[in-house]
Amino acid sequence: MRKCATVFYTGRVQGVGFRYTAREVACGYEVTGYVCNLLDGRVELAAEGEQEEVQAFLEGIRASQLGSHIRHADVNWREATGEFNGFDIRY
């Protein structure tokens, strides 16, 4: 079943290459979506694909060097819409 997860990461997640690393991690998974910095210091990430693949991608982010910078991840699931082409960094 295709799903979309929107995740809000808190911690020391800006200024550490989070967006670029997330995009690189995404290359290893069949997911589409985006990652962007928010003005309040959090990072927002949306990933769409088969639910198991999205879950594996999110675990891949935690297992990368980013994991030590993440204090909390608030994950919200919804039905996939097919709105994304590739996985991009948004500014």
Q: What are the beta bridge partners of residue 48?
A: 4, 32
Which residues are catalytically annotated? 19, 37
Q: Helix, strand, or coil here: 90?
A: strand
The torsion angles phi and psi of 20, rounded to 5 degrees, stand at -70, -40
